[in-house]
Amino acid sequence: MTFLMRILAIESSCDETAMAVVLKQDGNFIVEKNLLATQIEMHKLYGGVVPEIAAREHVTAIFPMLLALNIDHEGNGIDAIAVTYGPGLVPALRIGVELAKTLAWVWQKPLVAVNHLEGHIYSVWSIEKSQISNPTFPALCLLVSGGHTELILMKDHGQYEMIGRTRDDAAGEAFDKVAQLLGLEYPGGPSIAKVAEGGNPNAIIFPRPMHDSGDFDFSFSGLKTAVRVYRDQHPECSVEDIAASFQQAVVDSLVDKTFAAVSQFHPRSVILSGGVSANQSLRSTLRDKLVDRFPDIAFHAPDLSLTGDNAVMIAIAGAQHVLKKDFVDPLTLEADPNLKLAKN
């Protein structure tokens, strides 16, 4: 007999309002609806995300988006609701959480609460016709986004151990801040990656902070300062070379620590995810080095349409919670801006 479960997922943790309807059919996920309203144009004016503006924009976008899903007044066809409840910006998170609670209560549907980072990890699970196989455990996850840079050992579904993290800026934040000081548009990741295509990644040897720290932690704020100092001292240097050399330093730092963790923990798969996983240099360096040094370890990165924030990944992660009957009470669920994936 075929197992069918249809999940409505809602995501509003930062500057994207997203909703998806995803059907789990046995082991496969079919994306029936995938809606996204980005606020990037709004936040560009300020060079970063302004929480109160984000919340206001979510309020404007979320109801028309719900209507566009064409679900009837009783939620027929929906088996469960999944919502991101942290980490993120609390005024933004609340918009999605309150809608999910209301729908779950009115429709009398089970509600599951999803950690945004867990969502990013599940963005690599196979959807629709993709023939790729799902990660096997233990999986080592390099999660790189605007707010997080973490190495997580995932021993099974829902079992996470944090083995390394950034001590200051996240990798995406470093891209955003360096882009701003180079006069490039927000978000900085795509801007830097584009400009870097015309530059020499070995033109300037920027520091690889924490390289010899002996643990799996990262640091990017010193690198950002090094770029600023270099730019002030060498105004003649091309933005292309600075962008390419900065990107190379970030990629080297991320890849080196990931390989140190691979050597220590011997995972069966490596998962790269989060907004920065859209970076082609990071993707290809990690993939090529893994194939070269550890051909038995499978490499997984999300489809480019799922690297940034979206609700499909929240639905896929939510499905695991539904299977475990890990439901939450719609009357008491609260957004948690500092939600952790692992206790340590």
User: Where do contacts with ligand KG4 occur on this chain (CB under 6 A)?
Assistant: 14, 145-147, 172-173, 175-176, 187-190, 193, 274-276, 278-279, 308-309
Task: Give which of ligand KG4, Zn ion, none residue 91 binds (C-beta under 5 to 8 Å, depending on kind).
Answer: none
Q: What Rg do the C-alpha atoms of the chain give, in angstroms?
A: 20
* Least spacing, CB of residue 145 vs Zn ion, in Å: 4
Binds Zn ion (CB under 5 A): choice among 195, 309, 318, 339: 309
Nearest distance from C-beta of residue 309 to ligand KG4, angstroms: 4
SS3 of 140-153: the string is EEEEECCCCEEEEE
Q: Least distance (Å) from ligand KG4 to the CB of residue 172?
A: 3
> Measured from the CB atom, is 107 or 145 closer to ligand KG4?
145
123 binds, among Zn ion, ligand KG4, none (CB under 5 to 8 A by kind): none
From the list 12, 84, 145, 245, which residue makes contact with Zn ion (rule: CB under 5 A)? 145
Query: Least Å distance between CB 274 and Zn ion?
Result: 6
Closest CA to 231 of 203, 268, 263: 203
Element (H, E) at 62: helix 51-68
The residue among 52 and 197 lying less far from ligand KG4, judged by its C-beta, is 197
What are all long-range contacts of 300-305, with beta carbons under 8 Å and residues at least 24 apart? 300/124, 300/132, 300/135, 300/139, 300/269, 300/270, 300/271, 300/272, 301/124, 301/271, 301/272, 301/273, 301/277, 302/120, 302/123, 302/124, 302/273, 302/277, 303/123, 303/127, 303/130, 304/278
Residue 193 binding partner per list Zn ion, ligand KG4, none, with a CB distance cut-off of 5 to 8 Å that depends on partner kind = ligand KG4
Minimum distance from residue 267 beta carbon to ligand KG4 (Å): 22
Which 3-state string (H, E, C) describes 113-175? Answer: EEEHHHHHHHCCCCECCCCCCCCCCCEEEEEECCCCEEEEEEEECCEEEEEEEECCCCHHHHH
CB of 189 to Zn ion, least distance (A): 12
Nearer to ligand KG4 among residue 124 and residue 193 (C-beta): 193
Q: Pattern 86-125, binding to Zn ion, x per CB under 5 A?
A: ----------------------------------------
Q: Which is nearer to Zn ion, 92 or 243 (CB)?
A: 92
Overall size of the chain counted in residues: 344
Residue 335 DSSP SS3: coil
Question: Residues interacting with Zn ion, by CB under 5 A?
Answer: 145, 309
